[in-house]
Homo-oligomer: A and B are copies of this chain.
Amino acid sequence: MVRKTIFSRADVVKAGLAVMDKGGVENLSARRVAEEMGASTAPVYSNFANMDDLVMAVKMAAVELLLESTLENPTDNPFLNMGVGVLEFARKHPLLYGALFLQANDECVAGPGFMKELLERMAVLPDLEQLKPVERIILLRKMSLFTHGLATHICTGLQPGIEWKDVLNLLDEAGDAILADAVARSPRTEEDLASLGSLCEFPLQPTKDAK
């Protein structure tokens, strides 16, 4: 008889992602992951030091999914597409979204790297090149806040009756409003920028506080 399958680190992460997708972080336990894999809890602990490590790895896998989602191009507006990608992700994987953005998250797994990626994509868009780099950061911040507010409502089910096309229209209109406002305020004066101080920078590396 062939030796039973060895469960790799990737297998555990894959199973963990499935569990998290179906039941959220709070259901991601060693026993459930094991059951999902069709194994015992032993492979979980041979591949990861403890559950916290696994949870982190699964979150990072979820971020990969999110970034993929933001790379699709459902509309002809690249700036809008980023937001739509986030919303699509929140709709298809509400519990993954919740694990990434709706938990007090010291490790900051989804924050800086994700924003940096989006910022680089913005820099080459024709509508936005007239803005100062700092103004693009502020614009991204505003759009990101609106988008995440919308995504949060989607995945917590706070607005049950809402239709998907209306969600997209809402994002579109808000994007227009915020973009028009950004253009109208450009170029900002120095004192204007000073009044927005800490908003003009991102902590561009993850805040891995070595503990």
Q: Which of B98, B156, B181, B195 contacts A169 (CB 8 A)?
A: B195
Closest B residue to A114 using CB positions: B158
* B residues near A108, Cβ cutoff 8 Å: 157-158, 160
- Whether A124 is near chain B, meaning CB under 8 Å from some CB there, is no
**Interface assignment of A75: CB less than 8 Å from any CB of chain B:** no
The answer on a CB contact under 8 Å between B149 and A104 is no
| Residue of chain B at shortest CB distance from A146 | B146
A198 at the interface (CB under 8 A from B): yes
Within 8 A of B (CB), among A97-128: 98, 101-106, 108, 110-111
On whether the beta carbons of A98 and B105 are closer than 8 Å, the reply is no
Task: Provide the bound-state CA to CA distance between A105 and B158, in Å.
Answer: 7
Partner of A159, one of B111, B163, B177: B111
Copies assembled: 2
Contact flag A145-B141 (CB < 8 Å), given A102-B156, A181-B176: no
Give A141's nearest chain B residue, CB to CB: B170
Chain B residues with CB under 8 Å of A111's CB are: 158-159
Q: How many of A's residues come within 8 Å of B, CB to CB?
A: 54
A106 shortest CB reach to chain B, Å: 7
A166 at interface, CB cutoff 8 A: yes
Segment among A1-9, A42-50, A56-64, A199-207 that sits at the interface with chain B: A199-207
On whether the beta carbons of B98 and A102 are closer than 8 Å, the reply is yes
Chain A contacts to B: CB under 8 angstroms = 24, 26, 94-95, 98, 101-106, 108, 110-111, 141-142, 144-150, 152-153, 155-163, 165-166, 169-170, 173-174, 176-178, 180-181, 185, 195-199, 201, 203, 207
Q: Which 5 A-B pairs have the closest CB atoms?
A: A149-B149, A177-B181, A145-B149, A102-B102, A163-B198
